[in-house]
Chains A and B, each alone.
Chain A
Amino acid sequence: MQSGSKRRAYATSALVIVTFALILFALVEALVIAPREQTMGDIQRLFYFHMPSAWIALGPAFTVVFGLSIAYLATGKMVYDRWAGASAEIGVIFTTITLMTGPIWAKPIWGVYWTWEPRLTTTLVLWFIYVGYLLLRSIAGEGPRRARLSAVYGIVGWIDVPIVFLSIWLWRTVHPRLLTGHGFDMDSRMVTALMISLAAFTLLYVTLLVLRAGTLDIAAEVTALQARLRRLDRRGGGR
């Protein structure tokens, strides 16, 4: 192994270990240290990973797709397209977690799994937009044409992100509001558990992005080697 790729492998391993340790710490904080919420009971503990999942999707994941799509259109560098694809995939995973854990919390609290209120509906629309983005990438083949189409889609699709974020202020909604005019409306130990979960999931996003983009980089190397082999075979056969 070359020293550059060896260093990269060590750095990735270190990142995985730190992420794993921080997730364990976040689990202990959420399930053991944070106090039991008086009204909702233990189901409130789901919130410590529901909210960070939504943060990853709306914050880093889809915003990185947006930024890298602009970067691709500006420079034409395929590496931006690959990283945008990886970030969108992780964003869909975290949006799926948000959409699954929300109803699991809602059933014992609201009495229903789902209600068509603005935050839930716009989040479901967001999920469909980025599943569409991944489908587009899988059917459009490889190369600059797919990258161009994906980049335009990644920029236009991002419009739903601020709508999801602002939905609880723009419309009447039953979705809980975490932030009030005086900061977090929670016990300080709950805020600590939430902050640690946010940090753990943000690091998990970075780790997954590095791993997934690394896979896509190797896939690009496979495509390049296959093209080189075809060229060599043609030169050998053309004689």
Chain B
Amino acid sequence: MSNLGFLTLGYGLIWALIGAYVWFISHRQAALRRQVDQLRVEVDEAATKLVREQ
């Protein structure tokens, strides 16, 4: 491999790894936000149901 080939490989690996990590964080954060919204609805429903039963 040429000198430029090694340079391209190095830069490619650096930004691929950082890009993959940023994607992982944003993907995980979006999934967790959806879960929080869903859980808040479920908690509100459960609390309302409990108040009605009392």
Q: Which residues from chain A sit less than 8 Å from chain B, CB to CB?
A: 41-43, 45-46, 49-50, 53, 90, 93, 96-97, 100-101, 104-105, 107-108, 204, 208, 211-212, 214-215, 218-219, 221-222, 225-226, 228-229, 232-233, 235-236, 239
Contact = CB atoms under 8 A, between A and B. Distances in A.
Given A41-B3, A229-B43, A53 B36 contact: no
Chain B contact residues: helix, strand, loop or mixed: helix
A42 B34 CA distance: 46
Given A43-B10, A229-B43, 19 more contacts: A42-B4, A43-B6, A43-B7, A46-B11, A49-B11, A100-B14, A101-B14, A105-B6, A108-B1, A204-B18, A208-B21, A208-B22, A211-B25, A211-B26, A215-B32, A222-B39, A225-B36, A225-B40, A235-B50
Contact of A97 (B6, B13, B35, B49): B13
Chain A contact residues: helix, strand, loop or mixed: helix
Contacts of B42: 229
A105 B18 contact: no
Interface of B: 1, 3-4, 6-7, 9-11, 13-14, 17-18, 21-22, 25-26, 28-29, 32-33, 35-36, 39-40, 42-43, 46-47, 49-50, 53
For A104, A108, A219, A225, the residue with the greatest tally of chain B CB atoms inside 10 Å of its CB is A104
A222 B36 contact: yes
B6 A107 contact: yes
